Amino acid sequence: MNWLMTTTLAFGALALTPLTASAGTGDTLKAVQARGTLNCPGDIGSYLGFAEVDDKGVWKGLDIELCRAMTTAIFGDPSKANIIPIDWAQRWPSLQSGDIDIVIKASGGTLSRDGELGLQFSNSYYLGTTKVMAHAELGLASLKDAAGGSVCVPASTSTERQVSSYLAAQGIEMEIVAIEKNEEVEAAYMSGRCDTFAAWGPVLAIAASQSENPAAHTLLPDVLAMEPEVMITRQGDDNWVDIANWTLSALLFAEQEGITSANIDEIKANPPTAEIGKFLGATPGMGKGLGLADDWAYNVIRQVGNYSEIFERSLGQGSAYKMPREMTALWKDGGVLFPLVVD
């Protein structure tokens, strides 16, 4: 896909340089409300666990659920989310041209995206790490033990770059087998063509969980790279970033306080603390500063669920992938995610 990326980037740069539009505060929310839908990116095939299509052609996955949560915060109705299929390369031009209102597409916050492309980030909703999986029978404890062996990587991706720079930095000699298509990289590793397989963490977890014998694979502790996945908006609309941040925060706050889509009505009827009362809209003040209704957070949790519910049905125990939360757990469970304070 390298040539594709190059062409695309060239065009993207061409399109963006003179026109980097900066949205004024509140403009995006007004435009979205006037349109009646929130436009989010889907995928042009599927990105396992983050944006995929079920048997009835309905989008699902972590990124999609976050979009639905934000839609519910604005409209009180998740079905107002309009998922537009776009390719990775199209994310930024589509955001700048207004085809989509926010990028929630397993995309990391980077310096060049912030500085050169004129974008703005929310807090991180997922920590994506690049890791290495190995055949368990090799008995590897870390990537150092794999010296002299081979590693399968998807060709011309950031993973390939990360692997070679990590190997160089650690002084490990390995044969890098770069293969074009993700399915084939995985098939090559599974068939024993390579000793190890480097990829984005969720991809590895999914590959292992779907293999014939999940116990035959170990995830090595080496973290080759870390990328915090964020929601990305056009620069200049502070209110819009606030809404993204507070939507995420509401999902995490509900999880922290044990509020789920099932018990939310009981809790709202009898809130244990003043903060939770305010959070659920039992007392006023939650929405005004953001330009939303006071019960927006209640609607989100009621109709979409809290972060844990979303995660479990997209990637966790309720999905085909059975991924653990790990770093993506709440701070009190040993993870790095946290809600902002409702006061």
Partner 1 sequence: MTALPAAPALTPPARRFRRLRRDYFGSPASALMTLASLGILLGLGWWLMNWALLDATFSAAATQAECVQAGGACWSVIAARWRVILFGIYPYDEQWRPSFACAVVAGIILLSCLPRMWSFRRLALTWGLGAAGFYILMRGGILGLSVVNEQQWGGLPLTLFIFVATAVAGMPLAILLALMRRSELPVVARVTGWIIDTIRSLPLLSILFTFAIVVPFMLPGFLIGEKLYRVICGAALFFAAYQAEIIRGGFQGIPRGQDEAAKALGLPYWQRMSRVLLPQAFRLALPATINQFVVAFMETSLVVVVGFIDLLAAGNTAYKTGEWKFAYVEVYAFVAAIYFLFVFGLSRYGAYLEARMNAGHRKE
Nearest distance from C-beta of residue 211 to partner 1, angstroms? 9
Give me the torsion for CA of 324, 229, 213, 179, rounded to 10°. Answer: -170
Q: For residue 222, give the nearest of 250, 199, 252 by alpha carbon.
A: 199
Closest to partner 1 by CB, 83 or 264 = 83
Nearest distance from C-beta of residue 171 to partner 1, angstroms? 35
Nearest distance from C-beta of residue 6 to partner 1, angstroms? 10
Nearest distance from C-beta of residue 250 to partner 1, angstroms? 28
The two beta strands, 38-41 and 81-84, are parallel
Nearest distance from C-beta of residue 92 to partner 1, angstroms? 10
8-state DSSP, 125:
E
Please provide residue 134's backbone torsions phi and psi, each rounded to the nearest 5 degrees.
Answer: -135, 155
Closest to partner 1 by CB, 24 or 98 = 98
For 12, 118, 197, 295, 312, the CA distances from 184, given in Å and listed in that order, are 29, 36, 11, 48, 28
Nearest distance from C-beta of residue 316 to partner 1, angstroms? 12
CA–CA separation, 7 vs 23, rounded Å? 27
Which residue in this structure is represented by tokens 């844990």?
308
Nearest distance from C-beta of residue 330 to partner 1, angstroms? 25
CA–CA separation, 154 vs 169, rounded Å? 20
Closest to partner 1 by CB, 89 or 178 = 89
- 169 CB contacts (<8 Å, ≥6 apart)? none
Q: At what angle do helices 62-75 and 27-35 cross, to 10 degrees?
A: 90
Give me the torsion for CA of 26, 27, 28, 31, rounded to 10°. Answer: 120
Closest to partner 1 by CB, 60 or 278 = 60
Closest to partner 1 by CB, 53 or 136 = 53
Give the residues lining the site for partner 1 (CB under 8 A): 4, 7-8, 11-12, 14-15, 19, 42-49, 52-59, 83-87, 89-90, 93-94, 97, 99, 183, 206, 209-210, 212, 319-321
3-state class percentages of the chain: helix first, strand second, coil last, to nearest 5:
45, 20, 35
Closest to partner 1 by CB, 83 or 259 = 83
Nearest distance from C-beta of residue 319 to partner 1, angstroms? 6
